[in-house]
A and B are shown apart, each in its own frame.
Chain A
C-alpha cells in the first residue's frame, strides 16, 4: 500500500488543483507514469507517480484544490489481496485492462467496514461537495457501493452546492507573478547571496559550433545555449558546492546534475524545468531536450519531475538586445544560479595583442551558507575553461 500525494512542484507551491486523473481504479502503473494533471500557479503540470502497483482508490476528485502532501490516491502493490476485496487483486502486470476499474471497486473501501453505507472516498468527497446525504443514495457499484456517478445523479437541482461569492477576475498571469514573487522574496530573505562574474572569450566555441552546424541539417542544428548548459553541468560536477539543495539547515549536495533552464513564457512569467543528468548528455541530446522543454513549457505540459528536480539553474539572456550580464536570484532550495549575457564583440587583450573577440559574461549567484567566493571563482574558471574546449563538450 502506498499513498500518492500532491507533490511540491517548487518552493513556491503550497497547493495544487487536481484537474484530471490520467488513470482509473484498477489500472496498473509503474514508476514515472503520468497519473494526473495538476494546475499550479505556474500552469498545468503532468504529475508522475514514483511507486509501482495498482490504483486502489482515487481519493480526490477532479476540480479540487488541496495542499501539498494531501493523499490524492492509494496504490496497492498488486502482490497481495486488498483487505476488504472479495477476490484477490490481480498481480501488477503490464497489460491490466481498463475494465478492471469496476472489478476492483470493492478495493476502494478498505476502511469503510464499520459504516452502514458503502461508498468510495471519492464518492464521499463528492457527496460532501454537493450536500448529498449518502444514506439517501442508491448504490450501483459492487455490493451496492455508492459511486461518484450515483452521487451526481442523486444531487438535486433544487439544492445546488453553495456557490462561492463572486470574485473579481484576476489579471492574466497574476498567479504566476504571485508565485515568482513569493519564491524570489523567500530567496532574498533566506539566502545570503554573493555574486561573481567572469568574461569568457567564446570565439573558439562559436567558431567550432558554426563549423559543426554546417555539416548538420536544419533540424539537427545545435544552439550555443546547449554548450552553455553542458559546460555548466560539467563545472558543477567539478565544484559540487554549487549543485544541490539547502534543506533543514544544511547543504545536501546532489549526486546528479539536473540543470534547470529558465524559460520565459509568452503570456508572461517564467518556469525553470530540469534537463535531467545534463552532464551525461551529448550536445545534440541536450538540444533535443531543450527544444522539447521550451515547447512543452509554453504549451503548459511540463512534468512534475521536471519542475521539482533542478539542482541548479541557468538563466541565459540569449543573443538579443546586447545585454551583457545578468545577476539572478537563486531558486530555493537550490544554492546557485548561473547567468549568461549575450555574446558580444568586445576588445580583448591576448598576451601583448589587443583584438576583437566574441566575449560572453558568465555570472554566478551563490549561497554563502554553502560556499565562499573562492569556490565560486573556481566554478566560473572551470566554466570558462570548458567553454574554451568546445570539442570536449
Chain B
C-alpha cells in the first residue's frame, strides 16, 4: 500500500469516528487528538477502525506512534504485509 493510500485510509477511519471533522486538512506532524478534539474513546475507536479496515492490531504500547498522520503512516507501513 502506498503512503498516499494509507493516509487516505487513515482519514477515512478518522471520519468514521468524528464525522463532522476534516481530517484531510491535517498536516503530517499535527497531533491528531488535539487537532480533531478526540477523547480517549474516540482514539480507541480510531484504532478499532484501523483494525477493521486494514487488519492491523496495534498494541496499546504503540499508541504513541499513532499521534500524527505522518507517524501513523510510517508505523503502519512496518505492520502491513509487503506486496
Contact = CB atoms under 8 A, between A and B. Distances in A.
A219 interface: yes
Contacts of B81: none
A221 B40 contact: no
Interface string A213-233: 110011101011100000000
Interface string B31-53: 00110010111001101100100
A32 B17 CA distance: 30
Contacts of B18: 266
B39 A218 contact: no
Contacts of B34: 320
Contacts of B9: none
A184 to B, nearest CB: 22
A224 B60 CA distance: 12
Say whether chain B's binding surface is mostly helix, strand, loop, or mixed.
helix
A225 B47 CA distance: 17
Chain A interface bracket (under 10, 10 to 19, 20 to 34, 35 or more): 10 to 19
Minimum-distance CB pairs A-B, first 7: A218-B51, A318-B39, A213-B60, A294-B41, A223-B40, A318-B40, A266-B20
A154 to B, nearest CB: 43
A218 B53 CA distance: 13
A291 B57 CA distance: 19
B48 A218 contact: yes
B41 A218 contact: no
Contact of A223 (B20, B37, B41, B57): B41
A223 B44 contact: yes
A320 to B, nearest CB: 6
Interface in A240-279: 264, 266-267
12 contacts: A210-B61, A218-B47, A221-B44, A223-B44, A224-B40, A266-B37, A267-B20, A294-B41, A318-B40, A319-B40, A320-B34, A320-B39
A210 B33 CA distance: 20
Contacts of A225: 40-41
B57 A217 contact: yes
Contact of A221 (B20, B37, B60): B60
Nearest to A225: B40
A160 to B, nearest CB: 36
Contacts of A25: none
Contacts of A219: 48, 51
Interface in A313-345: 318-320
In the complex, which of the residues B44, B45, B57 has the most CB atoms of chain A within 10 Å of its own CB atom?
B44
Nearest to B45: A291
A221 B41 CA distance: 11
Nearest to A218: B51
Nearest to B31: A320
Given A210-B60, A213-B60, A290-B41, 8 more contacts: A214-B59, A218-B47, A221-B60, A223-B40, A223-B44, A294-B41, A319-B40, A320-B39
